[in-house]
Amino acid sequence: MSCKTIQAAEIATGHIEELKKPISSRGISPKLVGFLANDDPAAAKYAEWTAKSCQETGVTFELRECKREDLENKIITANEDPSVHGIMVYYPVFGNRQDQYIQNVVDVAKDVEGLSHRYVYNMYHNIRFLDKEQTKKCIIPCTPLAIIKVMEHVGVYNPVLPHGNRLYGRVISIINRSEIVGRPLAALLANDGAKVYSIDINGVEEFTRGSGLKLKKHEVHETNLTTEDVIPMSDVVITGVPSKSYKLSNKLLRDGVITINFSSFQNFEDSVSEKASIFVPSVGKVTIAMLQRNLLRLYDYQTTNPETN
């Protein structure tokens, strides 16, 4: 009965400080362009937060609003503009697979969100670098990365265990298996040693670390388990259901569970604090910090070897 609620802003603070220092001491001003082509108030809010956070760190943020039918051409213009170092898009735009097409129109070298196929594929296959010379690290999809940072902050990762296995022994349920967050997150957590139940309306899949020669890639198994089976077994429950009406029943949660919500709607019941030991109601501000971390990395790759970009 003593749940600790931790806000994303608090978790983001340390990461923001880590960004401010090099940007200020090096006297640089990496430029991030955000494209807003929908009229989703959540996206506008997120853009506003991004602008504020960038102002704090010293990143130049430019919001470009456009009609969705003009978006592709505007991204291509930004791809070709050497003064732009990073590009992001506020999704959903079309709300269907055309959004995935758009994700791949963003130049890999400027993709701060890490949503282009090359980054997603490399993430699933634990390929850490873009190039053979290992000079350019791959970008990890932003929201999954932010959730990992949240989990590190709240002590889910055990630093006593070796790197790459710090979730060993943890059972984690994720209610969302989107290509943008849920599925990559499940793979990343499995690669770090957790047993992950990935839940969506079609069922429950189990993600675990590969063994033996397959150690480097997670394994996925379809199960006959239900949400009611797996939530009570979970040390950590992460929700991302894009619906105002969806609420995960508090009764399913085990005592002392760690709960994290990344949906823009609150997926846990108000009474979650009666069960959880830790509750993180949102992650957006951590995501914004990670966007800028990725931007700084891409900035360096572009400016160190400009001829190869």
Annotated catalytic residues are 142
Q: Cite the beta strand spans of 180-298 per DSSP E.
A: 195-200, 203-209, 218-222, 236-239, 257-261, 276-280
Nearest to 294 by CA among 111, 131, 127, 130: 111
Does residue number 132 form part of the binding site for its own copies (CB under 8 A)?
no
Question: Hey, is 64 helix, strand or coil?
Answer: strand
- Minimum gap (Å) between residue 218 Cβ and its own copies: 11
Check: CB of residue 114 under 8 Å from CB of residue 120: yes
Is 300 a binding residue for its own copies by CB under 8 A? The answer is no
> How far apart are alpha carbons 17 and 259 in whole angstroms?
26
CB of 186 to its own copies, least distance (A): 12
Among 179, 254, 266, 282, binds its own copies (CB under 8 A): 179
CB of 35 to its own copies, least distance (A): 17
Give the strand order in the sheet containing 257-261. Answer: 4-5, 276-280, 257-261, 236-239, 171-175, 195-200, 203-209, 218-222
| Closest residue by Cα to residue 60 from 83, 30, 17 | 30
Rounded to whole angstroms, the Cα distance separating 102 from 92 reads 10
Report in angstroms how near the CB of residue 242 gets to its own copies at its nearest: 14
- Binding mask of the shown chain, residues 191 to 230, with x at each position contacting its own copies by CB under 8 A: -----------x--x--------------xxx--------
Of 3-11, 55-63, 115-123, 134-142, which segment contacts its own copies by CB under 8 A? 115-123
- Report the alpha-carbon distance of residue 58 to residue 226 in Å, rounded: 47
Taking CB under 8 A as the criterion, the residue among 105, 161, 171, 225 binding its own copies is 105
Report the residue from 29, 135, 178, 308 that binds its own copies according to the rule CB under 8 A: 178
Footprint on residues 30-89 left by its own copies (CB under 8 A): 67, 69, 72
Of 58-66, 80-88, 92-100, 265-273, the segment contacting its own copies by CB under 8 A is 92-100
- Nearest alpha carbon to residue 37 among 75, 1, 85: 75
100 touches its own copies by CB under 8 A: yes
Q: What is the spatial order of strands in the sheet that 86-89 belongs to?
A: 60-65, 31-36, 86-89
Query: How near is the Cβ of 117 to its own copies at its closest, in Å?
Result: 4
The footprint of its own copies (CB under 8 A) covers 67, 69, 72, 95-98, 100-101, 104-105, 117, 120-121, 124, 178-179, 183, 202, 205, 220-222
